[in-house]
Amino acid sequence: MLFADDALSDDKFLCGRLRLLQPVKGYRAATDPVLLAAACPAESGQSVLDLGCGAGAAGLCLGLRVPGLALAGLELQPAYADLARRNADRNGIPVEVHEGDLNRIPAALRRDFDHVIANPPYYPAGGSPSPVAARARAMQVDTPLSAWVAAATRRLRPGGWLTLICGADGLPGVLAALAPKLGSCSVLPLAAREGRPALRILLRARKGGRAPFRLLSPFVIHQGAAHDGDRESYTPAANAVLRDGADLSAAFG
């Protein structure tokens, strides 16, 4: 069943340069897909596959920053795939969206891509699920991170890049799944504030890469020791990404 119009909100991303329809109740994109898009080193004319694209936030943020990409998305839930198509149309960014499971990728997507991006679910299965079925399915882990890495690897051309965001506790599983085909791995920890532990990470790895592993300095999202009222208090670097649509090339060196 698709989302009814009265069950959707019209949300602004990147200071309103991108408008996304999202379910009022269900999985709603926040900062993760914006950060994921900013970390992808895609260039105009290249192809990008967004695994588990949801309503299209990551791919559309990337397409807004880098015009001329050949964007494709794979989404398990038909209602979210429909939203991704609608959001692509209303923002004027072409995206080829297919419904399907990443373990059985549709034939139309069985080709090589220059980049694969992914924002896998990160809440462990067996915990307290969301009462909203679509949100629970989008956020709780049913497919291990190793399967996401394997699916991305199959779809990458030689020399292509995987860019992934996940919880920091998922990093060992992702690293273990990279070998033997993905290398040149860089990990950017994401810290909510200076001195806080990183609860999420961004990772880049290259198919056939042979460069040494790099653990980068944390990317700090908020200024100060705690929230000051309702203000977001982003650091200048985070504000450039989350509001102005900048990339994260400086953070990745």
Report the 3 state secondary structure along 131-142.
CCHHHHHHHECC
Give residue 229's pLDDT: 63
Tokens of 253: 């060196």
Name which of 95, 93, 98, 59 is nearest 75 in CA terms: 98
The DSSP secondary structure of 155-201, one letter per residue, reads: HEEEEEEEEEEEEGGGHHHHHHHHTTTEEEEEEEEEEEETTSPEEEE
Average pLDDT, the chain: 92
Q: What is the pLDDT of residues 196-227, one digit of tens each?
A: 999 999 999 999 999 999 999 999 999 987 76
CATH class of 17-247: alpha beta
pLDDT over 70 for what percent of the chain? 91
Give residue 140's pLDDT: 44
Question: Taking phi first (over 0 means left), then psi (-120 to 50 degrees means alpha), and beta for anything else, what does residue 249 get?
Answer: alpha
Coil, helix or strand for 81? helix
Span 122-135, average pLDDT: 52
Coil, helix or strand for 114? strand
Name which of 187, 213, 211, 208 is nearest 112 in CA terms: 208
DSSP assignment letter at 104 = B
pTM given for the model: 0.91
Q: What is the pLDDT of residues 55-109, one digit of tens each?
A: 999 999 999 999 999 999 999 999 999 999 999 999 999 999 999 999 999 999 9
